Amino acid sequence: MIDQQGRTIEYMRVSVTDRCNLRCVYCMPAGGVTCVRHDDILTYDEITRICRIGAELGISRIKLTGGEPLVRRGLPELLGMIRRLPGIEQVTLTTNGILLKEKINELVSNGLDSVNISIDTLDGNRYREITRGGELNKVLSGIETALKVPSLKVKINCVPMTETPRQEYIRLARLARDHEMDVRFIEMMPIGLGRKYGYVSGRQIYQTLKNEFGEAKRCSGRFGNGPAVYVCFPGFIGKIGFIDAVSHQFCEKCNRVRLTSEGYLKPCLQYGAGTDLRDLMRSGADDGIIRDEMRRTIYDKPACHHFGECACGKASGKNASDGMKQDNGEMKYETRDMSQIGG
Ligand code: SAM
Ligand code: SF4
Per-residue pLDDT of 148-168, as tens digits, reads 999 999 999 999 999 999 999
CA–CA gap between residue 329 and residue 204 (Å, rounded): 39
Residue 24 alpha carbon to ligand 1 centre in Å: 9
Q: Quick check: CB of 341 below 6 Å from ligand 2? A: no
188 CA to centre of ligand 2 in angstroms: 13
Q: How far is CA 322 from CA 28, 280, 290, 312, in A?
A: 18, 19, 23, 13
pLDDT of residue 335: 67
More confident residue, 193 or 177: 177
Q: Which atom of ligand 2 is nearest to the CA of 66?
A: 8
Closest-lying ligand 2 atom to the alpha carbon of residue 67? 8
For the CA of 23, the nearest atom of ligand 2: 6
* pLDDT score of 327 more than 60: no
Please give the model's pTM, rounded to 2 decimal places. Answer: 0.91
User: What's the pLDDT at 224?
Assistant: 66
Query: Does the C-beta of 189 come closer than 6 Å to ligand 2?
Result: no
Task: Quote the ligand 2 centre to 127 CA distance (angstroms).
Answer: 12
* Choice from 22, 70, 71, 118 to test ligand 1 binding pocket (greatest atom count within 8 A of CB): 118
Q: How much distance in Å is there from the Cα of 61 to the middle of ligand 1?
A: 19
**Residues with Cβ within 8 Å of residue 323, at least 6 apart in sequence:** 272, 315, 317, 332, 333, 334, 335, 336
Pick 335 or 244 by higher pLDDT: 244
Tell me which of 159, 270, 312 to substitute to probe ligand 1's pocket, judged by most ligand atoms within 8 Å of the beta carbon: 159
Query: Mean pLDDT across the stretch 126-151?
Result: 97
- Read off the pLDDT of each residue in 301-306 and give the average, rounded to a whole number: 78
Residue 128 has pLDDT above 90, yes or no: yes
Tell the residue nearest (CA) to atom 4 of ligand 1.
Answer: 96
Does the pLDDT at position 312 exceed 70?
no
In angstroms, what is the span from residue 338 Cα to ligand 2's centroid? Answer: 8
Nearest CA to 112 among 47, 62, 59, 148?
Answer: 62
Atom of ligand 2 nearest to the CA of 98: 7
Handedness of CA 288, 293, 294, 296 (dihedral sign): positive
| Lining residues, ligand 1, CB within 6 Å | 20, 26-27, 65-66, 68, 94-96, 118, 157, 159, 186, 188-189, 191, 194, 338-339, 343
Ligand 2 in contact with 134 (CB < 6 A)? Answer: no
Q: What whole-number distance in Å separates Cα of residue 72 and Cα of residue 20? A: 9
